[in-house]
Amino acid sequence: MRRRAPEFRRPIRRSLSVWIWSFLLSSVFAGGFLLFMVQNHRQHHHQNPILENFGEEEQVPNKVGMNFTEELLSATSLARKLVDQMTLAKSYLVIAKERGNLPFSWQLSAQIRNCQRLISKTAVSRKPVSFEEAQPVMTALSQLIYKAQDQHYDIATTIVTLKKHIDALEERLIAATVLSAEFGQLAAEATPKNQQCLNIKLTVDWDSNPMVQKKIDKEIKYSPRLMDNNLYHFCIFSDNVLATSVVVNSTVSNAEHPQQLVFHVVTNGVTYRAMSRWFSMSNFRGSTIEVRNSEEFSWLNASYSPFVKEVEEFKERIMRSPYEEESRNVKFADLLKHLRFYIPEILPSLERVIFLDDDVVVQKDLTPLFSLDLHGNVNGAVETCLETYHRYHKYLNFSNSLITGKFDPQACMWAFGMNVFDLVTWKKLNATAKYHYWIEQNVNRSVWTSGSSTLAPGLLTFYGSIEPLDRRWHVMGLGYDMDIDERLLESAAVVHFSGFMKPWLKLSINRYRHLWARYLNTTHPSIRSCSIY
């Protein structure tokens, strides 16, 4: 084929037109120019730290939605510097007030308030602090801090002063906690008016019915059932008629053979007649209930019991100095609480007995505990060492040489409230004598404080003689504002309203009160007339 002449040939095809290549080349040159300008700007900005850190307000970009926490953590943030200065100024303010330098403390307070307003404004607006806003506040604070340092408000003085204030606050906190506990104790021990009404009515009824007194003396006081070890014996020491009634009623209501139950109730001389009249008005499903007056125990005197001796000495001091404040010893003088250490003397013919506090409710049959093997121990009790504060070192003074080396500070504590006592082993080990020894050693409160009531001497008396019981036999803490597993409450043989919020008080916890109230005889005429529940 003949080749065409050049002027008649078809033009050569190209992949990109000339104008596209021109556009690409111009973009490359423009990008390089911009990169150069940015690099030059960064170098210039790095050589001017004032502009970098502070700058003019129009040079700082508007950070809408600024994270204030990140702003305070930033090393170059003005807000961070203001906070640091304000913290130091507050420390000097404490020292100035302590030294009585009121004019200087007023100046510090004024500038601290200005700083707080500026920081609050920053947090609300979510914009960084500008140099114009921060400069006057920082300058004023810096001058005052320099003045404070010139007046020898050095770091050592600041640390010592602040430590003193922290110690003082801790002492106030401890004092407030102790005072709160004492008020709670007084509220728990105070008798409500409606219960006073009940006691008066029962006492008058007892005095006006001599035939009832003779019947009780004939049928109960000398009954052979009181010494029969084939029966199930319980002891309760209380001056609260309602509480004792609920303990007895709940126990017999859940027993398979209530006729085999015997209750030994010991109260004081004031409540004896009311307590006797209450239990004489019902048969409690055929169980035997003995009520005794603690004032009739002739053997319980100062020559035998160091506790009674201390109580009598305390009463004598009060008679000599009636206006002297000895509030720490008031609750220590409750004899009924300490009768639990004299059970073998009160019930000398018995071999085993279950002790019940007056703030418990029985939900299961307790008679299987009488056949429980205690393995040679005196006291069958539920241990309470699931938490770290339920250890011996929390209640006893281990700096005392009588305690150190003889007792394990990490030993598990256990609870009074529902206890199985083997009185035969008790007598062999002479546990009451141990109790007397520790009461004598604690005359100056060097072994434990009076706030521990009967628990501390119990920990010492029965140390090494505790037989741990299953937790379900005795569940505590219903007198505190705490959540207890409902399943544990349902399975518990005994629930204990340990704490200040007793179920018969208005300050009791509503979610637990029904466990107690269901065993209260609200149909009784005396309870109705005194408006109890």
Q: What is the 3-state secondary structure (H, E, C) of 101-163?
A: CHHHHHHHHHHHHHHHHHHHHHHHHCCCCCHHHHHHHHHHHHHHHHHHHHCCCCHHHHHHHHH
Over residues 360-372, mean pLDDT = 97
Given a cut of 90, whether residue 7 has pLDDT beyond it is no
Q: CB within 8 A of 217, min separation 6: which ones?
A: none
> Percent of the chain beyond pLDDT 90?
43
Q: Which two tokens stand for residue 106?
A: 């007023």
For 32, the 3-state DSSP assignment is helix
* Residue bearing the bigger pLDDT, 249 or 6: 249
Q: What angle do CA 495, 501, 504 make, to 5 degrees?
A: 80
Angstrom distance (rounded) from CA 497 to CA 475: 9
Model confidence band, residue 152 (pLDDT cutoffs 50, 70, 90)? low
Give φ, ψ of 414 to 5 degrees: -140, 175
pLDDT at 116: 84
Angstrom distance (rounded) from CA 48 to CA 20: 43
Mean pLDDT, the chain, whole residue set: 81
Model confidence band, residue 177 (pLDDT cutoffs 50, 70, 90)? low
Over residues 425-439, mean pLDDT = 97
Angstrom distance (rounded) from CA 384 to CA 475: 10
pLDDT at 148: 79
Given a cut of 50, whether residue 69 has pLDDT beyond it is yes
Give φ, ψ of 489 to 5 degrees: -65, -40
pLDDT digits (tens, 9 = 90+) for 178-189: 556 555 555 555
DSSP string, 494-523: EEE--SS--TTSTTS-HHHHHHHHTTS-TT
pLDDT at 251: 98
pLDDT at 354: 98
Q: Which helix (H) or strand (E) holds 486?
A: helix 486-491
The model carries a pTM of 0.66
Given a cut of 80, whether residue 498 has pLDDT beyond it is yes
Model confidence band, residue 523 (pLDDT cutoffs 50, 70, 90)? confident
Angstrom distance (rounded) from CA 431 to CA 465: 10
Model confidence band, residue 171 (pLDDT cutoffs 50, 70, 90)? confident
Given a cut of 60, whether residue 150 has pLDDT beyond it is yes
Given a cut of 50, whether residue 62 has pLDDT beyond it is no
Give φ, ψ of 262 to 5 degrees: -130, 130
Angstrom distance (rounded) from CA 94 to CA 151: 14
Given a cut of 70, whether residue 68 has pLDDT beyond it is no
Given a cut of 70, whether residue 12 has pLDDT beyond it is no
DSSP string, 191-236: PPHHHHHHHHHHHHHHHT-HHHHHHHIIIIIT-GGGG-TTSEEEEE
Which range, of 44-48, 279-283, 345-349, 512-516, averages the lowest pLDDT? 44-48
Angstrom distance (rounded) from CA 470 to CA 44: 79
Which range, of 75-84, 218-227, 232-241, averages the lowest pLDDT? 75-84
